[in-house]
Amino acid sequence: MQVRLFYSVQQEFLRKNEQALPSSIQFPAHVMVHMSQGQRLNLVGNDEPALRIHDLIKAPENTEWSQEKKHSWDASEPATVYHTPEMMPDGSPTTAATVILRTKGCHWWWSSGCTFCGYFNDTRDDVESADLHAQWEFAKKKLSDFEGMGMVKVYTSGSLLEDREIPVDFQETVLRECHEMNKHLVIESRTEQCTEEKLSWAKSINPEFTVAIGLEAHDEEVLKFHVNKGFTLKSWKRAVVNLQNAGLRVKTYLMFKPPFMSEGDALEHCVKWIVDVAEVSDEISVNPMNIQRGTIIDRLFRAKEYRPPWLWSLVELIERVNSVIHPKGGVNGEEDQISRLLIHPTAGGRIRGSHNCGKCDKHVVAAIERYSVSGDMREFVGLDCACKKTWRTEIELDVSLPAVLGVGIDRRGDPMMHLRSP
């Protein structure tokens, strides 16, 4: 499957971008030979360097039209600002402001990038400190200096504590002002930034905040081959120890159904991953796969070689792990809570996000969102639909028979229409 994917990518790239490549783009000679001759990609060698997916998938992002779109964004305004119901670290309900800044993007994306992440679509290469401060002021003004909100989440399409992405003076501004406003700050980071030195500096400005790390999978093979995460479990564990020693809260992101994984396997794996990280995570956020533009998973989806998860799989996941999160059957904020489990299905109910048959989607999404705040299994009482039987059959087949990884079945429209050839 991977060889076919890479081969189709190079052909699509040549077809669409033959006349659009700026002179600044220089591919290695061995890449150009394979691209011009239409040969299959060399993945293992034969005395030649193996071709990188980076050279073929990401190259179109350097075309003039792509750069034009990126620079059409206003560098003085954030990508988005909104607020949602949330829960404070002590279990009390609150409202959280979410500020997604428009930055240079993730340094890992610059060199390689994760297979599923399309946050590069919202970046600008030339964003500087003054721009970020203007975005911060814009967000504060829009939400009235976060009045009535106990929590502020600041996301950067990368890592707030990464000096190559975010100027240090702006890092300091966010840390200091959230502390001065008495708002609990939540930021994202990769493991590389969670060093003792960096955390000590950040804590000297803001003594209490949460660091969310996109682990995605508690599995070395999945990290390397499915996700292309760029760090190891050892690196994540070291970062967690550093955060705990600094007295900072740990939020762990896990991915539900990464590329090249069936629905049934995704369910079994994610249950295990939650169990593995629960004891060392103050919060666990499970992110069901959604299809973001220009990513490897996007190409699989458009080739009908991948389906986003069922919403029923997320309900089943919660049912299987709730006893781990709440061993005595409690809810969020009670003493038996080991960690907090959150699931917010991005694009839930849509074709590119977690979805069911279309009839029950909004009800299932709402129940999952309510559970993320309450931790109460009663949110799912009475939730049912005829499509649940179809989902159950797919799960059983996935775990008992060899299956094409990630494909699944079409869930919308007349099933007979899906049998017709294109």
Structural domains counted in the chain = 1
| Residue 36 resides in a domain | yes
* C-beta separation of 387 from 360 below 8 A: yes
pLDDT by 10s per residue, the chain, length 422: 444 444 444 445 445 444 444 444 444 444 444 444 554 444 455 666 655 555 555 545 555 666 777 777 889 999 999 999 999 999 899 999 999 999 998 999 888 889 999 888 888 888 999 999 999 999 999 999 999 999 999 999 999 999 999 999 999 999 999 999 999 999 999 999 999 999 999 999 999 999 999 999 999 999 999 999 999 999 999 999 999 999 999 999 999 999 999 999 999 999 999 999 999 999 999 999 999 988 889 989 999 999 999 999 999 999 999 999 999 999 999 999 999 999 999 999 999 999 999 999 999 999 999 999 999 999 999 999 999 999 999 999 998 987 778 888 889 877 777 666 55
| Residue 47 resides in a domain | yes
Q: CA-CA distances (angstroms) from residue 99 to 34, 191, 393?
A: 43, 22, 41
- Separation of CA 51 from chain center: 26
The residue range of the domain holding 35 is 2-57
Closest CA to 147 of 100, 94, 101: 94
What CA–CA distance (Å, rounded) separates 154 from 101? 7
Cα end-to-end span (Å), the chain: 20
Residue 106: HSE in the Cβ half-sphere, 13 Å Cα cutoff: 24
* C-beta separation of 309 from 262 below 8 A: no
| Residue 343 resides in a domain | no
What CA–CA distance (Å, rounded) separates 242 from 226? 27
- Separation of CA 379 from chain center: 25
Closest CA to 408 of 422, 390, 421, 420: 390
| Residue 361 resides in a domain | no
| Residue 169 resides in a domain | no
| Residue 243 resides in a domain | no
In degrees and rounded to multiples of 5, residue 11 shows phi and psi of -65, -40
- pTM here is 0.84
70: CB partners within 8 A, 6+ apart: 123, 124, 125
In degrees and rounded to multiples of 5, residue 21 shows phi and psi of -70, 125
Q: CA-CA distances (angstroms) from residue 301 to 166, 272, 353, 354, 406?
A: 33, 26, 11, 13, 9
Q: Would you call 132 exposed, middle or buried from its count of C-beta atoms within 10 A (0-12, 13-18, 19+)?
A: buried
| Residue 48 resides in a domain | yes
Q: Output DSSP code: residue 358.
A: S
| Residue 407 resides in a domain | no
